[in-house]
């Protein structure tokens, strides 16, 4: 089965990206190894939320992503390779998936990006040694592979990585459609 987009990484950046691609009607697969750092955080600086554990934030994001039709699977991705009509994604367990576009939201771990052959550079955050080289829209050195969140070099704060995941997904959807994608709902009239 060919997905429109596969997102690798299920933290705030990956889930925000999946929320927007799912809401846009793209067949979306989110692959998460469930080893993200957010689950260990106590978040007190996320807009609109006074305090939440990272674990609760990720669980709420997962419910929201699933409500927009994205499929979420636990998997450790080991390789992404270019195919004629998209990308082949291989996992540690031997499963394979196909997607037309890929978003890497792998946090501070860039082993996969380096295995794929993406250009990387030094990170600027204290605990992030390497990040994926990406332009402001999220494009990487391989056409069709995007980067979002900490993986793309933004600050480790959940509000920042969430926004970057959303931005990258909006840019991806906009490019596919040839016009700016906007996703807003109005409050129902009473």
Homologous superfamily of the 2-177 domain (CATH): FAD/NAD(P)-binding domain (3.50.50.60)
pLDDT for 42 equals 83
Q: List, for residues 87-107, the tens digit of each pLDDT value.
A: 999 999 999 999 999 999 998
50 φ/ψ angles, rounded to the nearest 5 degrees = -70, -45
Domain residues of the chain, as ranges?
2-177
Report pTM.
Answer: 0.94
For residues 101 and 36, the model is more confident at 101
Pairing outcome for strands 28-32 and 2-8: parallel
**Band of pLDDT at residue 79, cut at 50, 70 and 90:** very high
pLDDT for 35 equals 84
**Band of pLDDT at residue 184, cut at 50, 70 and 90:** confident
Q: Cα separations (Å) of 79 from 3, 90, 118?
A: 16, 5, 12
**Band of pLDDT at residue 47, cut at 50, 70 and 90:** confident
* Distance from C-alpha of 136 to C-alpha of 148, rounded to nearest angstrom: 10
pLDDT at 148 over 90: yes
Q: List, for residues 129-147, the tens digit of each pLDDT value.
A: 899 999 999 999 999 999 9
Question: Which residue's entry shows tokens 């700016």?
Answer: 180
Gyration radius from the chain CA atoms: 16
* Distance from C-alpha of 21 to C-alpha of 102, rounded to nearest angstrom: 11
Got the DSSP string for 35-86?
--GGGG-EE--BTTBS-EEHHHHHHHHHHHHHHTT-EEEE--EEEEEEETTE
pLDDT for 97 equals 98
- If we measure between CA atoms, which residue out of 55, 63, 18, 64 comes closest to residue 37? 55
For residues 17 and 41, the model is more confident at 17
pLDDT for 137 equals 97
């Amino acid at each position: 089965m060919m997905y429109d987009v596969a997102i690798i990484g299920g933290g705030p950046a990956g889930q925000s990206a999946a929320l927007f691609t799912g809401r846009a009607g793209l067949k979306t697969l989110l692959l998460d190894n469930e080893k993200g750092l957010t689950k260990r955080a106590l978040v007190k600086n996320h807009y609109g939320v006074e305090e939440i554990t990272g674990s609760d934030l990720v669980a709420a994001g997962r419910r929201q992503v699933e409500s927009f039709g994205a499929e979420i699977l636990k998997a450790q991705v080991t390789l992404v390779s270019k195919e004629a009509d998209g990308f082949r994604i291989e996992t540690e367990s031997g499963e394979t998936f196909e997607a037309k576009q890929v978003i890497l939201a792998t946090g501070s771990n860039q082993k996969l990006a380096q295995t794929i052959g993406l250009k990387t550079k030094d990170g600027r955050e204290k605990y992030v040694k390497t990040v994926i080289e990406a332009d402001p829209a999220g494009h990487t050195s391989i056409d069709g592979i995007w980067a979002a969140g900490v993986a793309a070099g933004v600050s480790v704060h959940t509000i920042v990585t969430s926004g970057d995941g959303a931005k990258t997904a909006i840019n991806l959807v906009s490019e596919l459609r040839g016009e700016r994608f906007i996703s807003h709902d109005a409050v129902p009239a009473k």
